Structure 1
Amino acid sequence: MEFPSTSCEVPRISPMSVAERDLIVELVQEEKVLHIRKMDRRLIAEKQKAWARVTEKYNTYGLGPKRTVAQVKTAWERLKIKAKHDQATRRRECLKTGGGPPPADVPDDSLKVLDVISEETAIPDCLFDSDAMPCKCCLYRGDVLPWKVS
């Protein structure tokens, strides 16, 4: 039984090569406005222009077929998701107890992406951690510690 074909079928484009992904990482790293997490009307317009510039530069290199802004942006989002997943998997493996071989390192392509998005993936130090131990320098300076009642 054959299914009727629809007229809105879009031909598939070949997957991105490693060189194309590396180029996207470099081009996104150059555009500083893409790293700002704030969203307002002015920044949204600037980010759209920045993505247009990234796509234009990407297409001028001619490493593969021409891509649209949406395709380049989606590729960057997927690279970020993969890098964060690789980092979380490595962290989870490091925190496991027991013996066994050491966990695998994060791949180089993910490390490049993590360098670009380092502010998004930073783990903040929490003063209110339940098992945090006060350091000696804080005790000697006489700082008020959150767990110390006066």
Structure 2
Amino acid sequence: MAATGRQLFNEAEKICLQELVLKYKLNSIATTMGSAVAKKNAWLRLTEEYNAIETNSKRTEAQLKKCWDNLKTRRKSMLALEKRERMRTGGGSFNAYTISTSSQVPVLEDALAVQTDVELADVIDSDNIPCSAESRVTDYSAAPSQGSRNIRTRVIQEEFHIRQQTYEKSQKREEELHKLRIAEKEWMVKAAEEIFLKAKTEREAAEELLHCNRAKREEAELSLRIFKNKNFEN
């Protein structure tokens, strides 16, 4: 009996979707902001490849886009929580929020790195907030302190460093995949050449055997004619 209702994506399907998004560069700003036709074609190819995998449930393009949007939303929420915690602790050590999502998978870190920029509005460092109510009112209305600006700068620098490392890992992975594809093609060419040479050798051996059998048959026919001629003369 066919399943009824909405069928949720399992973790393996989410990871597969993320890998395909990365493959077709649908996480790239250049792709998402570029030609609408190119973007549509990329999603079409992604959907076809996704549904061609036997372990995946059949999905429509709209369902895959919705799942991708949900993954980005969860990732942004997690980054926002992390940034708030960094601000609260003054950029020092903090308790990481544990969120049950596929963002813990390294593939998603690469796929979402470009599209999950999170900015927190009206964030005030708790270490710089005075205890008295009167002082708090004054600080809220005043310009950010030097300490707060330093913390913001440090957080931005750390975020940039993380993004840079993620980008470098992504580029390194792409280079490794490219080398593997080249090696695979070279191996396939070499295997095809070996198969061709083997078939050629077998064909030449068969032709040589055919020539040999033909020569033997001609020799036997000649011997038979000589024998008949001798008998006729006698």
Using the size of structure 2 for normalisation, the TM-score is 0.42
CA distance in 1, matches of 2:27, 2:89: 39
Q: Deviations over 1:110-147 (max 9, x none)?
A: 153232132233579xxxx98456xxxxxxxxxxxxxx
CA distance in 2, matches of 1:121, 1:72: 18
**Residue 19 of structure 1: how far off its partner (Å):** 0.1
- After superposition, the CA RMSD in angstroms is 3.1
Larger radius of gyration: 2
CA distance in 1, matches of 2:118, 2:68: 22
Aligned residues: 115
CA distance in 2, matches of 1:101, 1:123: 18
Gaps of 5+ in 1: 1-10, 134-150
Q: Which residue of 1 aligns with 2:61?
A: 69
**Residue 73 of structure 1: how far off its partner (Å):** 0.8
Give yes or no for the alignment of 1:103 onto 2:103: no
Residues 107, 59 of structure 1: alpha-carbon distance in 2 compared, 3 angstrom cutoff: same
Gaps of 5+ in 2: 120-143, 151-234
- Structure number with higher helix proportion: 2
Give yes or no for the alignment of 1:92 onto 2:84: yes
Q: Which runs of 4+ in 1 moved over 4 A?
A: 105-108
SS in 2 for 1:32: coil
CA distance in 2, matches of 1:130, 1:115: 35
CA distance in 2, matches of 1:17, 1:33: 21
Report the residue type matching 2:24 in the other structure: E
Identical positions, percent? 29
Report the residue type matching 1:18 in the other structure: E
Q: Which has the higher contact order (CA 8 A, sep 6+)?
A: 1
Give yes or no for the alignment of 1:115 onto 2:120: no
CA distance in 2, matches of 1:82, 1:54: 22
SS in 2 for 1:119: coil
